[in-house]
Amino acid sequence: MSKNSTLNILIQMKDQLENIIASGDGLDSDKKLLAETEKSIKWVNSCNGYSLHEKQDCYNCGKLFTPKNQHQKCCSSNCRVQFHRAKKRLSNFNNKVQEMIDETGQETNYIIEQTITESNKCPFIVYIKGSRFESESTKSLLSEIKKALWNQKK
């Protein structure tokens, strides 16, 4: 394909997009358009050898489910919400550990494992230089790690 024909297609697409935008008269028609687009999408049966309709484990509860599209990671909307909360919690916890390491002024590699626990228990297990840290509460886990980091420095 030559540069010019690519450009022509892009211009055509731009015109089409503008038509779509111009024909929409509010939210309802946008929704209708979206619903129609979704109906017309046919998911390909495989991608790089992986079948898209193959069952996979839910990222949150571990249950097997059949994803409706290639982006679906969780079996239900409940699980999706929980999974995103857990991800956020992990990212916050990771930042706290990194901050404590930075305070020691030394570079330290660590691994954080997140487990499925009852809601009030700390779901994290941290590995630092061959030691394993685990606690009932996130607060006490962080203080254990802090102590260990400063002891190592001495």
Minimum Å distance from CB 62 to Zn ion?
7
Residues contacting 5, CB < 8 A, separation 6+ = none
Nearer to Zn ion, 75 or 122 (CB): 75
Minimum Å distance from CB 77 to Zn ion?
10
Minimum Å distance from CB 59 to Zn ion?
8
Q: Tell me the HSE value of 52 on the side-chain side, using a 13 A CA sphere.
A: 12
Q: Contact between 58 and Zn ion (CB under 5 A)?
A: yes
Nearer to Zn ion, 58 or 149 (CB): 58
CA dist list (Å): 63 to 55, 56, 57, 76, 134: 10, 8, 5, 10, 26
Nearer to Zn ion, 60 or 124 (CB): 60
Which of the ranges 51-59, 98-106, 130-138, 141-149 carries the binding residues for Zn ion, by CB under 5 A? 51-59
DSSP string, 102-126: HHHTS---EEEEE----TTS--EEE
In degrees and rounded to multiples of 5, residue 54 shows phi and psi of: -70, 145
The tokens 């990222």 sit on which residue? 59
Site for Zn ion in 59-98 (CB under 5 A): 60-61, 63, 75, 79
Q: How many residues bind to Zn ion according to rule CB under 5 A?
A: 6
Q: Which residues of the shown chain bind Zn ion in the complex (CB under 5 A)?
A: 58, 60-61, 63, 75, 79
